Copies of this chain bind each other. A is one copy, B any other.
C-alpha cells in the first residue's frame, strides 16, 4: 500500500492537532499513508493528532516535518493545491475528480505527486499557489463553501481512491446463500396461487390472470434467495388456515 507514487498529502501550517489526526484517518480510509507537514502551529509530535487519528497511528508516526512548502515538495514532479477561494491568478482549476485522474495518470508514469492543503482558517497563502501545477477546488455549495480540513482531505482522497478501486455500483448481498432458480420460484408462486384460490382471493375469473401476473411481478422483484423461497412456503402455510397444523409445524422446524 505504501507506494512511492501514491500522492503525498502535504498539510501547510495546520493549526489543530485534532485536524491533523482526522486528516490522517481520512487518508488511511483512502489508502493514503504519506503525510508531510509544514510548520505545524503546535509543534510536533502532537498528542491530540494521535488521539484524533482513531487508529491511523502509522500515518501520524510516519509524518515528515518541513520548514517550508517548497522544501516539502522539492522531490515531487506534479503538485496540486487545494483552495476554496477564488485567487486573482491565471491558474488551471480542477475538480477533485479531474485532479484524481491526473494524479493517477502521472503516478502511473512514475511521477511523484502531491496535494497541498492550507491552514484551517485561511487556506493556502497566495505565495504557495504558484508552487503548484494546478489548483483543486471542490465544487460545493457556493453559499457555504468552507470545508473542514480533514473533510477536504477525505473528499479529494476518496476521488483518488475511486480512480483505482472499482466497486460494483449496485449489488444484492446474499451472503452465503444463492439466488433462487426460476423453477423454485414457479413452485412457490403456484403454491401461493392455489392457497389464494382456496381463500377466495380471486373474486372473478376474469380478473384472475391480471392478479396472478401482478403478484408474480411483485414477488419476482424481491429477487429471493433459495432460503427465502423456503421461508415463504412456510409463510403461506402459516397464513393458510386450510393447511393442517401438523404440516405447518413441520415447515416451522426448518431453518429460516
Contacts and interface: CB of A to CB of B under 8 A. Distances in A.
A138 interface: yes
A95 B168 CA distance: 7
A175 B88 contact: yes
Interface residues of A, number: 54
Contacts of A173: 86-87, 89-93, 135
A90 B177 contact: yes
A244 interface: no
Interface stretch (A154-162, A203-211, A212-220, A232-240): A154-162
B90 A174 contact: yes
Contacts of A161: 140-141
Nearest to A32: B141
Interface string A27-41: 011110000000000
A104 interface: no
Interface in A88-132: 88-95, 97-98
A169 to B, nearest CB: 4
A181 to B, nearest CB: 16
Given A29-B140, A30-B141, A140-B161, 18 more contacts: A1-B141, A1-B143, A22-B148, A22-B151, A25-B148, A26-B151, A29-B146, A56-B144, A90-B172, A90-B177, A92-B173, A93-B171, A93-B172, A94-B169, A95-B168, A97-B169, A98-B170, A151-B151
30 contacts: A22-B151, A25-B144, A28-B141, A29-B141, A29-B144, A29-B145, A29-B151, A31-B140, A31-B141, A54-B146, A55-B144, A86-B173, A87-B173, A88-B175, A90-B173, A90-B174, A91-B173, A92-B173, A93-B170, A93-B171, A93-B173, A94-B169, A95-B168, A95-B170, A97-B169, A98-B169, A138-B158, A140-B161, A147-B154, A155-B158
